[in-house]
Amino acid sequence: MLGHAFPVWLGFKGGKGVATGGGVLLAAAWWLGLAAGLVWLATALLTRISSAAALAACGAAPVIALLAGRPDLALFAAGTAALVAIRHRANIARLLAGTEPRIGRKA
């Protein structure tokens, strides 16, 4: 996942860490990946902000795993969520400022 979040060929910027993280969750526990995907979809539909949806899904995954009695998966998902949050620092700042672009609108 680190290679996708920090791609060498893009100067360690950009990347597809959220998509890769979703795939990793699906591979680790399909039900957890599906639940996180549903959180992403619901948040995206409500807010129309992709980064908010990604952060919500990644943040929900460890909680969902804990509620399912899987602390091992919760720890794994928390690590994935931390990486996504680190990579989305600029998006978080724009979310707090109210300037993050919405899905379907030009920047």
CA distance 48 to 56: 13
107 in any annotated domain:
no
68 in any annotated domain:
yes
Tokens 């919500």: give the residue: 56
pLDDT at residue 22 in the model: 86
Is this model's pTM higher than 0.75 or not? Answer: yes
Where does the chain show beta strands of DSSP type E? none
Which range, of 43-47, 58-62, 101-105, averages the lowest pLDDT?
Answer: 101-105
Which range, of 3-17, 26-40, 73-87, 91-105, averages the lowest pLDDT?
Answer: 3-17
1 in any annotated domain:
no
5 in any annotated domain:
no
How many domains in the chain?
1
58 in any annotated domain:
yes
**pLDDT average, residue stretch 99-104:** 91
68 or 11, greater pLDDT? 68
